[in-house]
Amino acid sequence: MQEAELHDLSDDADYAASQLQGSASFSRSGSSKRSSSSESDGAEIVYSKDNVTIHPTQYASERISGRLRLIKQGSSLFMTWIPYKGQRSNPRLSEKDKSLYTIRAVPFTDVRSIRRHTPTLGWQYVIVVLSSGLAFPPLYFYNGGVREFLATIKQHAFLVRSADDANVFLVNDFQDPLQRTLSSLELPMAVSVANGPSTSVSVSEPPSNENQEKADGGNFDGLGATSQYNGRHRPKIHDPARDLSIQVLEKFSLVTKFARDTTSQLFRESHGDGFGSNDRRHHNQSLLDSPHKASSDEQKVPDEIPVPSDPLEKTRCRKQYHDEEAVTNVGTFELIDCKEFDKLALVWGKPRQPPLGSEEWATFLDSEGRIMDSKALRKRIFYGGIEHSLRKEVWTFLLGYHAYDSTSAEREYLVSIKKSEYETVKQQWQSISPEQAKRFTKFRERKGLIEKDVVRTDRSLSFYDGDDNPNVYLLRDILLTYSFYNFDLGYCQGMSDLLSPILFVMKDEAESFWCFVALMERLGPNFNRDQNGMHTQLFAISKLVELLDSPLHNYFKQNDCLNYFFCFRWVLIQFKREFEYEKTMKLWEVLWTHYLSEHLHLYVCVAILKRYRNKIMGEQMDFDTLLKFINELSGQIDLDATLRDAEALCICAGENGAANIPPGTPPSLPIDSGLLCPQQDDIL
């Protein structure tokens, strides 16, 4: 029985306005009638819909409305979505921000599938998934029109309903034999898309939201999908073991020819048979070791293949003065504390400093324990980190558990209050009897996942080592309590990786819990079912690479690597598995300062890719080889050099870099009060 997915409309200005503004215009060409309006010579608008809206975040004030069109030119069909100019319902976003979401003349030869969803309450929406694995943000039809949208596409392109999911409509699906190979691996099916040439179509921006269409009463079922933007819709799934992110990524490092086409589908689809354990991995491993290894059959690429130069590199230079500047194709910037150009690294990043110690920490506090200059403190931590003995105290400020301007007495009082609150929430699941648990499926599923994950989290550390280790039980209790504290989000694989260092540092159950809560307010979208938070960040990485290293971006484009799924594990758990434990904690506290950017982790991703760009491009790595190579970098990355590079890239990108990161991209803190990640979930 399908359960309702609730959309709160009580504070939705766009929804109220849509009820007052009447019906939207809809035009579709007939067999003997052509549209009177065309975008260019030979182009015909076959579908036009006003008041189609994108939800960048869960906040109604940040929604962006625009006009959706289907345009026929020759034998090609294109889709466009242009936001309205001067939209009063979204004062927080500039025109530049809105332009990030503009969809301009996308040919349907580049579209893999269209997903439609019709919630019991709220609006119908569709998600258009590209053959690259990326997806456009969900398009909400405030006044209906989805049925006509799909019908028009079917008139002009090959559109069929998926045999595996009636809620998915496949575009240009010609039943490639690849699908039979995938079915033997028990992986979600991927669709082969015929890629045709893109015809240029000029699109004019609509001046206003003037016409709307009557609400569509059609009853197509739909489902959620991933998006490259930070929308907040929630898909329906039926797999309790939906947390595929890390295990599946590792598994795909072994897949060869077909990984490029299936990786994006795998992370987009969460349904399956609940087979997410090691048994599934071993089962698939035997299949993956069979002779389907295209990459091993290929001849080795000679080392002398020319690699395009890094556009940010400057020829050999020697630092003479502190105000020396370097001119690149992305701007002019200062070279900081650089003595000699290093071919293996960007050179203008500031050298790292010793970690913050107790004596220096005391200089930041006044007589009552307030931090007098939080920016100076964050800058100091950004360049040096923190001595381990101080982390328990300082992390609470970096994570937002304690306010910088709070006194020692106020913090003491807050700790006592929060300890009581924690015990109250913990008691909720501790009081569930075995008989109740039999009738509480969601609790049993989450408890089982948590117990399975904590026993394999950082067991090489003495803090978590050994049988019946009390700290492992604390991990379990905190994660179970969090699943009741934030029942909508619950528990997802990877959360134990984020909690482990916090408990290791805090060594207190209640304080660890509240620090974890504060961290999840920033990183919660990483674990949303629709993967919007992840895809937003992967999209931002692609835009930053395009800005800061266009040859590398073009290489990824030519090799079908633009989905950037090889960065998935980096982003999901903040490089937890890429560095040693101590270095991970150092990296996290640098990221938490938000000193240069709250999205420094994205520049860290770019810095690592640039550090290995010559190897990636010189060896002509395809998606499968690249994914395996990235996974095998674990434990081999120089953290200090990477941080210097990331700092340099962030400074170099400047406002252009910030403009390429969509609003609401994690770990952005919520604008309004309340939880960051409310979700519509089939909880019970």
Residue 519 or residue 274, greater confidence: 519
How far apart are the C-alpha atoms of 388 and 392, rounded to whole Å?
Answer: 8
> Do 582 and 492 lie in a common domain?
no
Indicate the pLDDT class of residue 492, thresholds 50, 70 and 90.
Answer: very high
How far apart are the C-alpha atoms of 347 and 653, rounded to whole Å?
Answer: 15
> Do 520 and 556 lie in a common domain?
no
> Do 596 and 486 lie in a common domain?
no
Q: What is the mean pLDDT of residues 480-498?
A: 94
| Statement: residue 70 has pLDDT above 90 | yes
Q: Three-state DSSP class for 10?
A: coil
Smallest Cα–Cα separation from 493: which of 429, 565, 567, 573? 573
| Statement: residue 663 has pLDDT above 90 | no
Q: Which long-range contacts (CB under 8 A, 24 or more apart) does 450-457 make?
A: 450/476, 450/479, 450/480, 450/483, 450/491, 450/496, 451/476, 452/277, 453/479, 453/493, 453/496, 454/479, 454/496, 457/496, 457/497, 457/500
Question: What is the tens place of the pLDDT at every residue in 30-58?
Answer: 433 344 344 455 789 999 999 899 887 76
Residue where a domain terminates, one of 176, 194, 213? 176
CATH number for the domain that contains residue 555: 1.10.472.80
Tell me whether residue 184 is in a domain: no
Least reliable range by pLDDT among 54-63, 105-114, 437-446: 54-63
How far apart are the C-alpha atoms of 531 and 529, rounded to whole Å?
Answer: 5
Assigned token pair, 181: 């190979």
Tokens 């049988």 belong to 467
**What pLDDT does residue 516 have?**
97
Question: What is the tens place of the pLDDT at every residue in 143-163?
Answer: 888 989 999 998 888 888 887
How far apart are the C-alpha atoms of 423 and 481, rounded to whole Å?
Answer: 9
**What pLDDT does residue 135 have?**
80
Least reliable range by pLDDT among 188-192, 546-550, 586-590: 188-192
| Statement: residue 61 has pLDDT above 50 | yes
pTM of the model: 0.56
Question: What is the tens place of the pLDDT at every residue in 290-306?
Answer: 333 334 444 444 444 67
CATH number for the domain that contains residue 167: 2.30.29.230
How far apart are the C-alpha atoms of 102 and 80, rounded to whole Å?
Answer: 8
According to DSSP, the β-strands at 111-117 and 139-141 are unpaired
Least reliable range by pLDDT among 222-226, 311-315, 511-515, 527-531: 222-226
Tell me whether residue 226 is in a domain: no
| Statement: residue 589 has pLDDT above 80 | yes
> Do 419 and 520 lie in a common domain?
yes
Tell me whether residue 372 is in a domain: yes
Tell me whether residue 518 is in a domain: yes
Indicate the pLDDT class of residue 168, thresholds 50, 70 and 90.
Answer: confident
**What pLDDT does residue 669 have?**
58
| Statement: residue 129 has pLDDT above 80 | yes
**What pLDDT does residue 20 have?**
42
Residue where a domain terminates, one of 469, 499, 526? 526
Ramachandran area for residue 291 (φ above 0: left; ψ -120 to 50: alpha; else beta):
alpha
Q: Say if residue 667 is preceded by a cis peptide, omega within 30 of 0.
A: yes
Question: What is the tens place of the pLDDT at every residue in 281-291?
Answer: 344 343 334 33
Name the residue range of residue 166's domain. Answer: 43-176
**What pLDDT does residue 494 have?**
93
> Do 510 and 606 lie in a common domain?
no
Q: What is the mean pLDDT of residues 643-671?
A: 85
Residue 43 or residue 309, greater confidence: 43
Total of domains in the chain: 3
Least reliable range by pLDDT among 146-155, 251-260, 513-522, 561-570: 251-260
Query: What percent of the chain is modeled with pLDDT above 90?
Result: 47
> Do 50 and 168 lie in a common domain?
yes
> Do 358 and 415 lie in a common domain?
no
Mean pLDDT of the chain: 74
Tokens 């913990």 belong to 426
> Do 386 and 425 lie in a common domain?
no
Tell me whether residue 228 is in a domain: no
Smallest Cα–Cα separation from 382: which of 608, 596, 638, 668? 596
Assigned token pair, 353: 């400093």
> Do 115 and 71 lie in a common domain?
yes
| Statement: residue 12 has pLDDT above 80 | no
Tell me whether residue 221 is in a domain: no
Residue 242 or residue 307, greater confidence: 307
**What pLDDT does residue 230 have?**
40
Q: What is the mean pLDDT of residues 544-563?
A: 93
Q: What angle do CA 324, 326, 331 make, to 5 degrees?
A: 130
Residue 345 or residue 168, greater confidence: 168
**What pLDDT does residue 191 have?**
37
Least reliable range by pLDDT among 15-19, 140-144, 191-195, 457-461: 191-195
**What pLDDT does residue 246 have?**
46
Least reliable range by pLDDT among 50-54, 85-89, 250-254: 250-254
Count of CB atoms within 10 A of residue 417's CB?
Answer: 10
Cα 619 to Cα 119, 126, 301, 543, distances in angstroms: 48, 40, 6, 23
Q: Chain-centre distance of CA 311, in angstroms? A: 27
Residue 121 or residue 78, greater confidence: 78
Indicate the pLDDT class of residue 344, thresholds 50, 70 and 90.
Answer: very low
CATH number for the domain that contains residue 448: 1.10.8.270
**What pLDDT does residue 92 have?**
60
Q: What is the mean pLDDT of residues 15-26?
A: 38
**What pLDDT does residue 331 have?**
45
Residue where a domain terminates, one of 500, 526, 552? 526
| Statement: residue 76 has pLDDT above 60 | yes
Residue 261 or residue 193, greater confidence: 261
**What pLDDT does residue 348 have?**
52
Tell me whether residue 65 is in a domain: yes
Angle in degrees, 0-180, between the axes of helices 532-548 and 600-611, rounded to the nearest 10: 50
> Do 608 and 651 lie in a common domain?
yes
| Statement: residue 646 has pLDDT above 90 | yes
> Do 413 and 472 lie in a common domain?
yes
> Do 522 and 534 lie in a common domain?
no
Please tell me which of 113-127, 228-242, 318-332, 388-402 the model is most confident about, judged by mean pLDDT. 388-402
Q: What is the mean pLDDT of residues 528-535?
A: 87
| Statement: residue 224 has pLDDT above 80 | no
Tell me whether residue 355 is in a domain: yes
Indicate the pLDDT class of residue 349, thresholds 50, 70 and 90.
Answer: low
